[in-house]
A and B are shown apart, each in its own frame.
Chain A
Amino acid sequence: MDEFGTGGDQFRQPYIQVQSVLYHIEISSVVRSLESLSRAADLSIHKGECKKVSVIYGDASSSPCIDGAELERLRERFPALNLSYHFFGENLGSARGHNRLAEGATADYLLILNPDVVVCPNLFGHMLAPFASPRTGMVEAKQIPIEHPKEYNPLTGETGWATTACALTPRKLFHELGGFDADTFFLYCDDVDYSWRVREAGYKVIFMPAAVAFHDKRLSSQGRWRPTSAERYYSAEAALLMAYKWSRPDLVELLSGYFRNGGEDERRALKNFEERRASGKLPAPRDPAHAIGQFIDGMYALHRYPL
């Protein structure tokens, strides 16, 4: 019998909590996502794949994205989703925001979801399937239209880490691992770090290409992904923190060298990292034998193709 998943009698029809952190998002994007979640929940409950789905939003914006009247309308419109909403009153970042939302959770699984993601109708069934194995600790949906290029085993779906644009993990495991490392990561790489800790604990991270999550990203006219300035800053900062936490001081030095001569975002990220190091606020390094962490060509896994 598995420890967390659907194999246990009590979890044959698990309860799933979908949780998203809002940050100055347009309500139309949230509604689009809820419409898809509502249908997916209806279908999944009807098929007996799960017994209950709830959606919980944590709002890290400076002012609420959803007011009381709007919330009531959404609750009325999507009764299957048991919608709840919390205004944090501060920008907690994604890692701390998700930890906060998971604090009082009683669900069997947590679906970490970007609030603008539109899911396919059979999402829950597909994402629960790999938990039939007791060794599965995290399942990631495939993002469209821009599929993440990181490598996964084309026969088993096993992969190095999972993005949390749309990822399912047992609530118990999440709590046992202490959730996301919010002290270290604000916006980026909290998912890479969590995935690696899932694997460090002996579980597998599975990529499910049949479970589809539409994440509204656009390409430049050259067919390249277009990161914003904030994305460049936080990914640069997270890169330094990941290298440090997962025992790659050589990479920390290498990245520091690049960033010192890089753009404004990179220089700012390096400055912040050095300040944290000076004040002793960096995490304790782990995985000294490099059994889990992978740093390949600036990525956290082998990539199938450049993007």
Chain B
Amino acid sequence: MSKTVHEVPNPPLLDRYTPWAGTAARLIVGGVWLVAGALKVTDLRSSIRAVQVYELLPNSIAEIVGIVLPLVEVGIGALLILGLATQASAVVSTLLLLAFIVGIASAWARGLQIDCGCFGGGGQLGEGESPQYLVEILRDIGLLALSALLIWRPTTRYSIDSILFKTK
């Protein structure tokens, strides 16, 4: 009889707390995307320039990325904060962060003197300013870890997903 009691779903300790950790991850990563995108949408030309200075993409593609990226950042940020399509948003978030890490690392390796342009701004650095590549990469790795958590356990508290899809 005691056996059957154990078969009633009784989530292990980890599973009881990950939804809360997921909510925190959603708000942090979503908040960062929302702010990063919002700071760029008002000046999309600067956003294009910020992409161009990496010298990684041909100009026509840099232009498209510079225009679309800030808006996608805002959108993904909003989805994560709302907890709608969490897993898919986290996948996009992860891919973007991986791309950024590669971009920054490559700028670092090539000795470029640029600002990552992560939160608006961007472009060449002036004299007396040194690039912050390590800090930028570490920050992105932190956000990457949180995004990965959301891919692994997309069910989180206070999310629209949990209302739409009762996966409890």
Chains A and B belong together in one complex: no
